[in-house]
Amino acid sequence: MLFQLQNATLRRPNGFVLSDLNWTLQPGEQWAILGPSGSGKSLFLDALAGKVRPSAGHLAYGEGLSGASVEAVARDYSFDWRVAGAAQFYQQRYNAQTADEAPTVRDLLQNQLRPAGTIDPASVPLPPPLYTNEWLNDVAGQMRITHLLDQRLTSLSNGETRRTLLTRSLLKRPRVLLLDNPFSGLDTDSRALLHQAIHRIAQSGVSLVMVVDERDVPACVTHKFCLKTPQPLNFSIVDNHTGLPEQPVNCAPTEQNSFTNAVQMRSIRVRYGEKTVLDNIDWTVRRGEKWALLGPNGSGKSTLLSLITADNPQAYANDLRLFDRQRGTGESIWNIKQRIGFVSPELHLYFPRQTRVFDVVASGLFDTMGLFRKLSPEQKALVESQLHPYELAPLRDRPLSSLSLGQQRWALLVRALIKNPPLLILDEPTQGLDADHIERFRQLIEERCRQTPDQTLIYVTHYPDELPRCITHTLRLADGRVA
C-alpha cells in the first residue's frame, strides 16, 4: 500500500471535523474524491500532503514512500513569496509596465526567481535551473503549455495558470499526485486535453488522488471516495423571510440606474507588445439586458471584462462608454466600480486570505480587496442582514483561508451582491461549488432578475448548462474577435 488512514480524525482550526476515516491507496489505483461543498475534500487532501496531522487514529505511509514522493498541485501562487509578491494585485495582469516585471512561466518552473521589486537584477544572481531543458519541454508538451513558457505569469488565463501549476508538480516526478479541482476554470477543449494528460500520467505509474466534480471524473479513475457535509448550506431562494434578501434601497441610489447603455464598445483593440488580445470588438449592453459571455480559455473574455471594471488602462485608448459616459472624461475608477458587482476566479485567487468573512462581504461596499475603513451602524446592519440568508453568519469571524473553497466562493458572491449594483459581472461564479449549490445559485440570480427587471447582467461560464434562464443575449469570442 501507499497510504492508509485508520480510524482517523482530521480537524481544521475553525472546528470542522472529519472523523472515523478508513481508506487505503494501493499502487496502480486512481481515486476520485467526491462530495458537496464544505464536506472536507480539501482537508482530506491536505492530510495526505502532510499539511494536517490526524488528531486521532493513524495515517501510515507505505514502504519506500516519503513526503517527497507525494506532491500536491498548488492551488495558487502562495507557495513562494517571490511569486506571490509579483502577482500581488490581480489588476496588474492588464498593466503592461508591471506585467513586464512578473516572472515568466519558465522562471517559475525552473525556480529562477528574484524578489518582487528588485531594482538591479544583476545584483541578485539566479540559482541554477532545477531541470534539464529536455525534461522541462517534455512535461510542458504533455500539459500543452510549451507556447506559454516565455509568457509572464500575470498574462495567463485561469485555465493556463492551472495547467502551469500542474506542470510544476509533474516535473518533480512524484509517485503520488494530489489534485484539487484540476478541471475548474477550463473550457471544453482544455478539459479534454487535461483528461488525456491525466490518463497518460496514470499510465506512467503515478497514483492520482483528485478532488473532482462528478461530471469531470477521468476515465482512468478506478475508485471513488465520497464525503458528506455535516452542515449543508440550506438557504431557500424563494421565501424572502429565509432566503433571497430584500434589496437595500439605500445602497443603490436612483441616479445609479439612470443610464441607457451600461456598455458601449466601438472597434475595441487591446495589444500587449506584438500580441493582439482583442481585435475590433463592437458591443453594446443596454440597461436590463442579461448577457452570456462565452469563449475558450485565452479568447479575450477576461481582458474584455477588465475594460468594463476599470482595471485595464487601455480603456483610455479606446472608444468605450460606461453607463453612458465616455471613459477618460473625468470619472474615477471608483465611480465606475460603485455601479458594478463583480466576482471572478482571479479576484478569488488574489483576495487576501486572512480577511475575515464579515470584512470580505463588507469590502463589496467599497470595491476594495479587504476592509480598510470603519463601517457606519447602517452598513454593519446591512452586512449582517446579508450573511444570514447564505449561512455565512456562523463563519463571520473566520479568515477566508479557514473556509472550504466553496464557502470562500459564496463569501465573494455575497460581496458582489451587497451593494445591489445595477450591473452584475459574474465571471465563472460557481467555480468550486457542487451541483446542488450551482443550481441554487442559478435560482438566486434568476429570482434577483425577476424581482429587479432593470438588473443588467454579464455572465461567463465554460458550462452553458449553468447559465441562468433569464439570459437574453450571447456574445461569443474566439482569438480576440467576435465569433
For 370-383, write each residue's pLDDT tens digit: 899 899 999 999 99
Of residues 167 and 231, more confidence is placed in 167
pLDDT digits (tens, 9 = 90+) for 424-452: 999 999 887 888 888 888 998 999 899 88
pLDDT score of 232: 43
Distance of alpha carbon 66 from alpha carbon 329, whole angstroms: 61
Model pLDDT for residues 62-80, shown as the tens digit of each residue: 876 766 689 999 877 777 7
Give the model's confidence band at 190: pLDDT under 50 very low, under 70 low, under 90 confident, else very high: confident
Question: Which 3 state secondary structure label does DSSP give 483?
Answer: coil
CB of 373 within 8 A of CB of 385? no
Residue 92 has pLDDT above 60, yes or no: no
Q: What is the pLDDT of residue 133?
A: 95
160-187 per-position pLDDT tens digit: 888 899 899 999 999 999 999 888 878 8
What's the Cα-to-Cα distance from 225 to each of 150, 407, 431, rounded to whole Å? 39, 21, 21
Residue 131: is its pLDDT beyond 70?
yes
pLDDT digits (tens, 9 = 90+) for 26-54: 999 999 999 887 788 888 998 999 888 99
pLDDT at 225 over 90: yes
The model's pTM: 0.80
pLDDT greater than 80 at residue 88: no
pLDDT at 158: 66
First to last CA, the chain: 51
Phi, psi of 104 (to 5 degrees): -85, 170
- DSSP line for 25-81: E-TT--EEEE--TTSSHHHHHHHHTTSS--SEEEEEEPTT--GGGEEEPPSSSTT-H
Q: State the pLDDT at residue 100.
A: 60
Q: Are 177 and 71 in contact (CB under 8 A)?
A: yes
The CA distance from 422 to 335, in Å, is 13
The reported pLDDT for the residue numbered 240 is 37
pLDDT surpassing 90 at residue 231? no
pLDDT at site 247: 42
Collect contacts of 108-117 with beta carbons under 8 A, ≥24 apart.
Answer: 108/83, 108/153, 108/164, 108/168, 109/136, 109/140, 109/149, 109/164, 109/167, 109/168, 109/171, 110/136, 113/80, 113/82, 113/83, 114/82, 115/82, 115/85, 116/82, 116/85, 116/86, 116/88, 117/85
The pLDDT of residue 138? 92
Burial 427-458 (b: 16+ CB within 10 A, else e): bbbbbbbbeebbebbbbbbbbbbeebeebbbb
- On whether the CB atoms of residues 113 and 125 are closer than 8 A, the answer is no
Numbers of helices and strands, H then E, in the chain: 14, 18
What pLDDT does 115 receive?
64
Rounded to an integer, what distance in angstroms lies between the CA atom of residue 409 and that of residue 106? Answer: 30
pLDDT for residue 233 is more than 50: no
Per residue in 234-273, pLDDT (tens digit) is 444 333 333 444 443 333 445 667 899 999 999 999 998 7
pLDDT at 22 over 70: yes
Quick check: 283 pLDDT over 50?
Answer: yes
Average pLDDT, stretch 319-347?
A: 89
pLDDT category, 101, cuts 50, 70, 90? low
Mean pLDDT for the chain? 85
Share of the chain above pLDDT 70, in %: 87
Residue 67 has a pLDDT of 61
What is the tens place of the pLDDT at every residue in 335-366?
899 999 999 887 887 788 899 999 999 999 99
Spatial separation of the C-alpha atoms in residues 121 and 321, rounded to whole Å? 41
Q: State the burial class of residue 66 (Cβ atoms within 10 Å of its Cβ: 0-12, 13-18, 19+).
A: exposed
At 87 the pLDDT is 54
Query: Do residues 73 and 161 lie in contact, with contact meaning Cβ atoms separated by under 8 Å?
Result: no
CA angle 208, 212, 218 (to 5 degrees): 60
Provide, rounded to the nearest whole percent, the portion of the chain with pLDDT above 90: 45
- Tell me the residue length of the chain: 483
Amino acid 238: pLDDT: 36
Give the model's confidence band at 109: pLDDT under 50 very low, under 70 low, under 90 confident, else very high: very high
User: Which of 349, 374, 348, 344 lies closest to 362 in space, CA to CA?
Assistant: 374
Please tell me the distance from the alpha carbon of residue 39 to that of residue 6, in angstroms, as a whole number: 19
